[in-house]
Amino acid sequence: MSVRKISIIGSGRLGSFTGYEIVYRELAKEVVLIDIIQNLPQGEAMDLNQMASEKGKSVLVKGSNDYKDISDSDIVVITAGFARKPGMTRLDLLKQNAPIVRDVALQIAKYAPNSIVITVTNPMDVMTYITYKITGFPKERVIGMGGQLDSARYREILANIFNVSRNSVKALVIGEHGENMLPLARFSYVGGIRVSDLLSLEKIKEAEEATRKIAAEVIALKGATVFAPVSCIASLIEAIVKDTKEIIPVSAYLNGEYGLNDLCIGVPAVIGKKGIEKIFELNLNEEEKLRFYKGAEIIKNAINELRQLAII
């Protein structure tokens, strides 16, 4: 995919550092940072252009407060919204961020109707659903970034448990991006061996719980998670730009897959130049299904609440 332009909605830490990664990896010819705060995206753009100059990168960065500047974007990343604060769940953010993402999606549909959209704003699965519904884009062109990040965290936990290189670990987390995420020991591997064959059930549960808690621990220590999600966003963009056909767990709109309809939830998918090119349906056991569907129910309830509020 020949990508000329990538736009990022939201110029806070996630948005600006995503811009940095795009420039550093040279994933587009132009990056546009959008924010409602006057001067913020312009300042970030100046800083990033100076970095690009030092590194000899040819990517140009523009900062703007006008959505018209995202016109003809190939990819749009949504990071705008309130950050999760200590003690908050992702679903606590629902009423705060839903109207913001709704308005952003309307602007994307207007100015970048052919783009692939990556939604990062939390609660991510619900925000991805809003993006899909409001833009009216084909489902393959609306992607939520979450399971990829949860899988990276699970990988870190497992690497520490076994005291091995991270490169020896393949970890998979699907389901809701939040408290009901589903780390899959049966589909995660250390040196090619299933984690479920290496750890006791008790140790598996401990690893899963550590994976659920790790984001909140980072937030409690420094106020926000930044570097890990930014790296995931950039890798997702790179898979699209370079058409790598990587299997990445992302939040996708389901239409019958896993027996679910009309919601977005984390599933393994092939990512390429068209966005989500294929969804893989795992053969989950009964316990895994129950936990997966519990996360789906949480997302469905949130969607229904938004309908009652007439947000979607």
- 123 preceded by a cis bond (ω within 30 of 0): yes
Query: Residue 281 has what DSSP assignment?
Result: -
Alpha-carbon dihedral angle through residues 46, 34, 177, 208, given to the nearest 10 degrees? 10
Packed helices 94-111 and 124-135: angle between N→C axes, nearest 10 degrees: 30
Cβ neighbour number for residue 223 with a 10 Å cutoff: 13
How far CA 265 is from CA of 137, 155, 228, in Å, comes to 17, 20, 20
Query: Among residues 84, 141, 153, 177, which one is catalytic?
Result: 177
Cα separation, 285 vs 173, in Å, equals: 15
Residue 249's nearest CA partner among 206, 213, 295 is: 295
For helices 147-162 and 201-222, give the axis angle rounded to 10 degrees: 120
* DSSP letter for each residue of 177-191: SSTTEEE-GGG-EET
Three-class SS state of 251: strand
Nearest to 178 by CA among 141, 126, 130, 236: 126
> Taking the CA atoms of the chain, what radius of gyration do you get in angstroms?
19
Is there a catalytic annotation at residue 31? no
Helices (H), 119-200: 124-135, 147-162, 195-198
User: Measured in whole angstroms, how far is the alpha carbon of residue 130 from the centre of its chain?
Assistant: 14
Whether 3 contacts 27, CB under 8 Å: yes
Annotated catalytic sites, by residue? 177
